[in-house]
Structure formats: structure tokens, C-alpha cells
């Protein structure tokens, strides 16, 4: 024969016990209550044994604990929702700050680029100035070299021809050499500031033998020699002036080199600063782009679903509890169902 079966668990009680799982009640406890609760509910409250009352009170106590647990779950979900909203607000503030940082970095990069352009222009100007200074120095050096060479040629021709012509050391057939020397000296005299009258008289005077020269002829020779000396001194003076200009040009060259070196250094520094500023801007811009691509859509949906589920669970539990309390209050309506016997 089969053992007698106990009464079936009432619907509201069965539903409530199923929801106890979400309230943290163990399966063993739920199974035990599922077996005992039908007996307790089948007895009128005034006729219940202390054990029946204990079972009903235990379920009621578990309802309170379960309701508190579901309310806490709702509180956690609501806190998560509030934290999500706070996070979004904070993210918006961070995004705004990042936008401002990107603008600032962009301005710094633009200023650095402008400074680089200015430094490059200054370097180009310094290079051009140096090129002009090189030309000035080369011109001064060429003029000085030409003047020194001119004086040396003048001196060489003068020293070679003047003394023998003046002293009339040419003898015999050397008159041809003498005339050649006089012609060369006449050419030199033409380069001096001597008057035309002296240039005309000196060749004639030099052809006279030194021993037969009269006072006037001697005076002409002396004036010619003075003209040569003055011109040689003048050439030396011009050479000194050109040497001074060459020195000034050399000093200008030194300053131009220094200016170019400083401009090149400044340009290199500006280029590095611009490079660093651009890199910093690109880094900020990349971070901004990443933040702009960030979406809270999925997170919002997950938080909303969690909150909705927590509230729905609390509502379902409270309704199930209400139905059970109504059901339990109808004492004696559920009678034990006897099991069939074999």
C-alpha cells in the first residue's frame, strides 16, 4: 500500500515559496515549508496547533525578510542608476574640459608654427645678409689687392728707371734704354697729379746729362721726383684706406656669421617647440576623439533593465505575499487530500 499523500500546497503559497529563492531562502527550507504549509493553512486559526502557528509565522517572517531583500535590490539598482547619471554628468564635464584642452593645445601649436615661420624668415634674412656681406668683403679684398698691386707695379717701374735716368748713367748706345726708361717714367707721371706742363717738361729735362743740367732743368727733375713721391704716398694712403674698409668688411662678416648662427639656433629651437606642440595637440585630439566616440547607450540600457527587473521582482513578491496572506486567512478551506491506496 502507498503512504498517504499530504494536502496539495495552495496556489498562492506555492507561488510565494517559489519567489523565496530570490529572497535567499535555501531549497531545503523551501521544500520543507512546501510540505508543512498546506497542513497549517488547512486548519482554522483558532484550532491551530502551536506548530501550525510557528509555520505560518515563519513564512510571514520570511516574507518580511524577503521583502527587505527585494527592496534592498531595488535600492542597489536605483543607486546604480543614479551613479550612471552622475557618471554621465561627470563624463560630460570631462568632455567639455577635453574640448577646451584641445582648443588650447591647438592654439599653442598654431602659435608655435607662427613662431617657427618667423624664425625661419629671420634665418633666411640672416643668410641673405651674410651673402651680401660676403660680396662686400670680396669686393673690399679685391680693391685692396688691386691697389696694393698697382702701388707695387708703380714702385717697381719707378725704382727701376728713376735713379739711372736722373743720374744719367746711360752711356754710349744706352741712349735707347734711356729713352725707354724715360717713356716708362712719363707713363707713370701721367698717373700722378702732376700738371700738364710738368709732364711735358720732365722727359726733355731727363734727356739732358746730369752734368749739363741748368737750374731750371734741375728744378723740373726735382718737381718730377716730388710728384712721383707724392703719388707713391697717395697710393699707400689709398691702400691703407682700403685695408681699413677690408677690416670693417671682415668685422661685418664676423657679425653676419654670428647673426646667422643665432638665427639658425633660434629656428631649430622653434621647429622643435612646434614639433612638440603639434605632437601634444595630436595626442589631446586623439583622446578627445576617443571620448566623443564613447556611448552610454548600452550602459543605460543595462542599468535600466536591472532597475526595472528589481522593481518588478519586488512588486511580484509583494503581490504574491498579499495573495498568500489572503489565502492563509481563509482558514479551513483547504482540506487534506487523501492519497489513493493500493
Helix, coil or strand: residue 57:
helix
Q: What is the DSSP string of 294-338?
A: ---HHHHHHHHHHHHHHHHHHHHHHHHHHHHHHHHHSTT-SPPPP
Would you place residue 342 in the very low, low, confident or very high pLDDT band (cuts 50, 70, 90)?
very low
126: cell is 640672416
- The DSSP H or E segment spanning 251 is helix 215-293
Question: Cβ neighbours of residue 147 under 8 Å, at least 6 residues apart?
Answer: 235, 238, 239, 242
Nearest CA among 109, 112, 205 for reference residue 165: 205
pLDDT at 333: 46
**Section 261-277 average pLDDT:** 95
Hey, what's the torsion of the CAs at 119, 125, 130, 133, to 10 degrees?
-150
**Section 319-326 average pLDDT:** 89
pLDDT at 90: 92
CB neighbours (10 Å) of residue 283? 12
Q: Are 280 and 111 in contact (CB under 8 A)?
A: no
Nearest CA among 189, 188, 185 for reference residue 199: 189
Q: What tens digit of pLDDT does each residue of 57-114 get?
A: 899 898 998 899 999 999 999 999 999 999 989 989 999 999 999 999 999 999 999 9
CA dist 19 → 26, 66, 156 (Å) = 11, 9, 130
Cα distance between residue 324 and residue 310, in whole Å? 21
The b-or-e profile of 241-259 (16+ CB within 10 A means b, else e) is ebbebbeebeebbeebeeb
Amino acid at each position: 500500500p502507498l503512504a498517504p499523500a499530504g494536502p496539495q500546497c495552495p496556489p498562492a503559497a506555492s507561488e510565494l515559496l517559489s519567489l523565496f529563492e530570490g529572497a535567499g531562502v535555501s531549497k531545503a527550507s523551501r521544500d520543507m515549508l512546501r510540505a508543512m504549509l498546506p497542513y497549517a493553512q488547512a486548519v482554522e486559526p483558532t484550532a491551530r496547533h502551536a506548530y501550525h502557528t510557528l509555520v505560518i509565522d515563519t513564512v510571514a517572517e520570511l516574507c518580511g525578510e524577503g521583502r527587505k531583500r527585494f527592496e534592498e535590490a531595488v535600492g542597489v539598482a536605483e543607486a546604480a542608476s543614479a551613479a550612471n547619471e552622475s557618471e554621465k554628468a561627470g563624463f560630460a564635464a570631462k568632455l567639455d574640459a577635453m574640448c577646451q584642452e584641445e582648443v588650447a593645445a591647438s592654439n599653442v601649436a598654431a602659435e608655435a608654427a607662427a613662431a617657427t615661420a618667423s624664425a625661419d624668415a629671420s634665418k633666411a634674412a640672416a643668410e641673405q645678409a651674410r651673402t651680401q656681406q660676403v660680396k662686400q668683403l670680396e669686393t673690399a679684398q679685391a680693391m685692396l689687392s688691386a691697389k696694393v698691386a698697382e702701388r707695387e707695379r708703380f714702385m717697381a717701374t719707378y725704382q727701376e728707371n728713376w735713379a739711372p735716368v736722373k743720374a744719367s748713367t746711360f752711356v754710349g748706345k744706352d741712349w735707347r734704354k734711356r729713352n725707354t726708361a724715360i717713356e716708362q717714367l712719363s707713363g707713370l707721371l701721367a698717373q700722378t697729379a702732376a700738371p700738364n706742363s710738368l709732364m711735358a717738361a720732365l722727359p726733355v729735362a731727363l734727356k739732358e746729362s746730369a752734368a749739363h743740367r741748368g737750374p731750371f732743368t734741375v728744378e723740373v727733375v726735382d718737381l718730377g721726383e716730388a710728384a712721383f713721391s707724392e703719388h707713391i704716398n697717395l697710393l699707400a694712403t689709398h691702400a691703407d684706406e682700403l685695408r681699413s674698409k677690408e677690416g670693417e668688411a671682415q668685422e661685418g662678416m664676423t657679425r653676419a656669421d654670428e647673426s646667422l648662427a643665432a638665427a639658425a639656433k633660434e629656428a631649430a629651437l622653434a621647429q622643435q617647440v612646434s614639433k612638440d606642440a603639434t605632437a601634444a595637440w595630436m595626442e589631446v585630439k586623439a583622446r578627445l576623439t576617443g571620448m566623443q566616440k564613447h556611448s552610454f547607450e548600452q550602459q543605460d540600457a543595462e542599468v535600466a533593465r536591472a532597475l526595472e527587473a528589481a522593481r518588478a521582482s519586488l512588486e511580484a513578491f509583494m503581490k504574491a505575499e498579499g495573495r498568500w496572506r489572503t489565502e492563509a486567512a481563509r482558514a479551513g478551506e483547504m482540506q487534506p487530500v487523501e492519497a489513493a491506496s493500493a
